[in-house]
Structure 1
Amino acid sequence: MIPLAASVSPAALARQLLAVLGRDGARLRRIDDYLHGQHDDPYMPPQADDEYRLLARRAVSNWMPLLVSTPAQALYVDAFRPGESGGGVPAAADSTTVEWEHWQRSRLDARQAAVYRGALTYGHSFTLTERARNGQVRTKGLSALRTAALFEDPANDETPFAALTVVTWPMGDDPGRARLWDARNEYVVRFLSLDDPDSVTVSDLRRHGASECPVTRFAASVDLEGRTVGVIEPMIALQDRINQSVFDLLLAQTYGSTKVRTVSGMAPPIQRDPETGEPVLDAAGNPVPLPINHNAKRFLFAEDPDVRFGSLDETPLQGFIDSIDMSVRHLSAVSQTPPHHLLGQIANLSAEALLAAETALSRKIAEFRVAFGESWERVFRLAAELSGNITSAGDYRGEVMWRDMESRSLAQSADALGKLREQLGIPARGLWARVPGVTQTELEDWEHKAEQDDSVGQLASALKRATPEPAARPAPVAA
């Protein structure tokens, strides 16, 4: 069977990928707007004045960055463990491998967070693994707002048969420029608009050096239809509900949160002509009242016994506050974010209660680690292939090592590791990697120092070197 990519021209692939960007652009930009606090306005009357619109802008309570940051801050790759070290023996995590050297050269310790945040925000992000001009292989992240990929089976394939990323957008008569990759080659694409397929041109053919498309997709969640979804888009309706509740609270607080004093049966004093004493009339023939200087320091009194003074109670605000609190709790439940992360209420909570509250978040993070880990493993295989390491390029048993980000004290961890050593007989060095916060560089330093401190082993090695080998006895000769 001929692969789909082989039967489609590069120009047709470019037009199809640009159309994908145009189709998904509005949805992704709306998600991007909500991430940065540019939300839809809450409902207000059509005749709303500037004061209403000011309150609407102040009503935006942006919870979206927290929904992205909470799981993203628990995703941190610390090391890579190859599948085998030789002879079928599983290898240990090692920072001297070709894969990890590529990781450090690409500065992915810091840049990996942007890949996760992009995938969690838009549903997917991408990385590009390529050989630079100096011959070194590097990996960098690509934004979902600029990048699209095509899969024969988007639900199950990890390797796209083509991908495109926009380098510069069109400006006036100047065309935009994009980079296109298929399974063998890279092309330069120029276009005037995403919805103008006739303006697309493809040129500058060159080999990218890999045996498959060098772009890797990082998907937060993929269904069997191949659709990706992040953590923001499902929460937009709840975010709008919170903004509406806050807007209603601000309206009630601004216009109805104070008592209103009333008076009935009293006519205000009117202006009079100082010469004639007659009332001054306005254009409609009505007397012009004198301005009343009334504030909290002054009292009103009337000589007429029929005048009645009263007051209107203020609008209770607790109902609005309870509505906001309920909506935030709904947001917490639907997004699997612990309530104390959103509400800041952690008083009188035991360690067991905190652990139970974060169980759903831990499961969510574990799901992301599985999905993103598979993508990083493909990146490592691509980097090994481009570096000429054929063995590592075909290693499908390697895995990334995620940092343990659970909130446990060092004393608790040390006690648990000590029990594993004493009660189960697990070698002490095998437990070093489970120490909270330890890095691969620290593990190697510990190994080096442990070898230096092994005085018994050093003495045995010295005696073995100083003791001459016994002479071999001659073989007996048959009589």
Structure 2
Amino acid sequence: MATELDNSGDLKLVRSGLAKLASALPMWQVREDAATGKGNLPYAPKGVDVEYLALQKMAPLPLIRLAVRTTCQRLRAGGVRTAKGADFDKELWRIWDRNNLGSRQRIVYRDGIVHDRGIMSVWPNKADKSTPIVRPESPKAVWIEPDPADPFSSIWAVKHWTESRDDKTITVAMLYTPKYWAKFEGDGAQNLGEVKRGKNPLGRVPFVTFEPEIDAEGNNSSLIDALMEPQKAVNTLRFDLLLAAQFAAYRQRIATGYDPVVRDGNGDPIVKRDPETDEPILDADGLEQPLIRSPGRVGVDRMLVFPGTDTEITDLSESDLGNYVTALDMLVATFAAVAQVPPQYLIGDFKNVSGDLMVATEATLRSLVTDLQTGYGESDKEVFRLVEIARGGDADALSDLEVDWSDADPKNINQIASAASQMVPNGAPMRMFLEQWPGSTPRTVERWFADAEAELSRVMAGDYAATETGPKPDE
């Protein structure tokens, strides 16, 4: 589909970006399967029966998924602050809300944890210039090329997708540079042609990366890579436990010296015969099938009687499943330590755990979340800078921007209220305690203050009935 618009240099960049995305796709799928609980099943020898395979499917325990969700549930930007004042901050946050990023922000946070990189895009909105378009992007579909001289900045990016047109699948690829963008289409990555181009109104590559771990050379890593092997160990031991519970958890009766084959007077096996042709019935290997005498059904109210003088009935003791449980708890606790998740979240054992102890076990998770908020906060700031450019503002005016994160840590509201009652009368600001209240955001705190001020004004004006909840005097 090459046209007169084609630029060989740009097409080379597009193909390079698509090739890098294709080479990263297998690892993307491995990480996605691990994060969604679809990792490899525990090992089982070939040829095992259906019962073994059913236990093999039951064995996996999706701890990686739980660890990722536990962390992501504590990552939620709740507001922004700048030196320009509350009205300016509210307008920035309005744009965030209009793009439904209150819920969609978790997409990029999760992608950063799972796939080593989350991506968010910003672009001017032709329909409403005051509200730029901000979207999470899939790291499977967007490649961002780092600057060799400065790996923390990008020099171009490629985004691709497919469309169905006239029963044909068309590959669409977009190239973005700080100066321009170009659109390519074709029936495959190797048959693309440029169909359109234009000026980049942002003057920057319109993608922002969210990378939880990155080194000085710009190399990033997934936080779940270190959890895959511990996850496999847990799955394998759970498989062993299920097998032991199925086949060795109860006392087994065994018979020795018993020949179940029916024999004639000469001691030769009597074979099965077709009742119509009287021909021997053969098994799958072509061998004659002997008649087998039933040993009877085992039961507490039945007696087993075997022919022959050499038959002995004994039993095998059951397996101790407690050893499996102990080892499994140890592996899960080790997984929790590597994932920086409180072990009680994974084991589910809350016996004899005090509130203070539970808060203490949250320390490692709190450290992880704080570290992620620091890195993701810088990315969120860059998103807002691009938003300011997209709506015609000055990104340098947001140099002092700060992101407020909603506090999702477990809180003892009685302790917060007690501390406030003691410290506020001595000069501590009430805002300090309201911001720690579960579920509070800068906007809810402002609303609480406004409501309190309105109530106080009515009381000072003598409108006591508006604030009282009891019956009025005439009642």
- Deviation string 1:18-62 (CA, Å, 9 cap, x unpaired) is 122012111111111122222223222234344433332222222
- Deviation string 1:286-345 (CA, Å, 9 cap, x unpaired) is 973433431314211358665432112223322222222221111011111110010011
- Deviation string 1:366-418 (CA, Å, 9 cap, x unpaired) is 0000011111111111111111222x553211111011112112221122234
1:105 aligns with 2:109: no
Deviation at 1:103, TM superposition (A): 0.7
* Aligned pair partner of 2:372 in 355, 363, 368: 368
- For 2:45 and 2:389, how far apart are their aligned partners in 1? 62
Residue aligning to 2:125: 132
- For 1:371 and 1:252, how far apart are their aligned partners in 2? 46
1:255 aligns with 2:247: yes
* Aligned pair partner of 2:219 in 227, 242, 245: 227
User: What SS does structure 2 have at the residue aligned with 1:14?
Assistant: helix
Please show how residues 55-454 of structure 1 align to structure 2 within 5 Å.
55-82=55-82, 84-85=83-84, 91=85, 97-135=90-128, 136-152=131-147, 157=152, 159-168=153-162, 174-190=169-185, 192-193=187-188, 196=190, 199-266=191-258, 268=260, 270=262, 280-282=270-272, 283=280, 288-296=291-299, 297-301=301-305, 307-390=311-394, 393-423=396-426, 425-429=427-431, 431-453=433-455
CA RMSD of aligned residues (A): 3.2
What's the TM-score, normalizing by structure 1?
Answer: 0.81
- For 2:234 and 2:432, how far apart are their aligned partners in 1? 49
* C-alpha contact (below 8 Å) 2:21/2:140 kept by paired residues: yes
Judging changes above 3 Å, is the alpha-carbon distance between structure 1 residues 269 and 24 closer, same or farther for their aligned structure 2 residues? closer
* C-alpha contact (below 8 Å) 1:94/1:440 kept by paired residues: no
* C-alpha contact (below 8 Å) 1:153/1:226 kept by paired residues: no
Alignment-mate amino acid for residue 229 of structure 1:
S
- Deviation string 1:423-453 (CA, Å, 9 cap, x unpaired) is 4x23335654343322333333334345545
Alignment-mate amino acid for residue 72 of structure 2:
A
Deviation at 1:420, TM superposition (A): 3.8
- Gaps (5+ residues) in structure 1? 1-6, 86-90, 460-479
Judging changes above 3 Å, is the alpha-carbon distance between structure 1 residues 247 and 451 closer, same or farther for their aligned structure 2 residues? closer
Residue aligning to 2:31: 31
* C-alpha contact (below 8 Å) 1:79/1:94 kept by paired residues: no
* C-alpha contact (below 8 Å) 1:271/1:290 kept by paired residues: no
Residue aligning to 2:467: none
Question: Which stretch has the larger CA shift, 214-223 or 298-307?
Answer: 298-307
Residue aligning to 1:477: none
- For 1:102 and 1:15, how far apart are their aligned partners in 2? 34
Judging changes above 3 Å, is the alpha-carbon distance between structure 1 residues 155 and 305 closer, same or farther for their aligned structure 2 residues? farther
* C-alpha contact (below 8 Å) 2:80/2:89 kept by paired residues: no
Judging changes above 3 Å, is the alpha-carbon distance between structure 1 residues 153 and 285 closer, same or farther for their aligned structure 2 residues? closer
- For 1:205 and 1:452, how far apart are their aligned partners in 2? 55
* C-alpha contact (below 8 Å) 2:119/2:138 kept by paired residues: yes
- For 1:122 and 1:64, how far apart are their aligned partners in 2? 13
Residue aligning to 1:472: none
User: What SS does structure 2 have at the residue aligned with 1:175?
Assistant: strand
User: What SS does structure 1 have at the residue aligned with 2:154?
Assistant: coil
What's the TM-score, normalizing by structure 2?
Answer: 0.82
* C-alpha contact (below 8 Å) 1:269/1:289 kept by paired residues: yes
- For 2:307 and 2:195, how far apart are their aligned partners in 1? 94
Deviation at 1:256, TM superposition (A): 2.5
User: What SS does structure 2 have at the residue aligned with 1:362?
Assistant: helix
- Deviation string 1:76-115 (CA, Å, 9 cap, x unpaired) is 1111001x23xxxxx5x66753311211111111111222
Alignment-mate amino acid for residue 398 of structure 1:
L
Deviation at 1:228, TM superposition (A): 1.9
- For 1:33 and 1:450, how far apart are their aligned partners in 2? 50
User: What SS does structure 1 have at the residue aligned with 2:140?
Assistant: coil
How many percent identity over aligned positions? Answer: 24
Judging changes above 3 Å, is the alpha-carbon distance between structure 1 residues 279 and 166 closer, same or farther for their aligned structure 2 residues? closer
- Deviation string 1:340-372 (CA, Å, 9 cap, x unpaired) is 010011221122211221111100000000011
- Gaps (5+ residues) in structure 2? 1-6, 273-279, 281-286, 462-475
* C-alpha contact (below 8 Å) 2:164/2:170 kept by paired residues: yes
Deviation at 1:127, TM superposition (A): 0.6
Alignment-mate amino acid for residue 165 of structure 1:
K
- For 2:99 and 2:41, how far apart are their aligned partners in 1? 42
* C-alpha contact (below 8 Å) 1:170/1:193 kept by paired residues: no
- For 2:61 and 2:221, how far apart are their aligned partners in 1? 23
User: What SS does structure 2 have at the residue aligned with 1:299?
Assistant: coil
User: What SS does structure 1 have at the residue aligned with 2:435?
Assistant: helix
Judging changes above 3 Å, is the alpha-carbon distance between structure 1 residues 193 and 240 closer, same or farther for their aligned structure 2 residues? farther
- For 2:55 and 2:390, how far apart are their aligned partners in 1? 56
Alignment-mate amino acid for residue 45 of structure 1:
P
- For 2:203 and 2:149, how far apart are their aligned partners in 1? 19
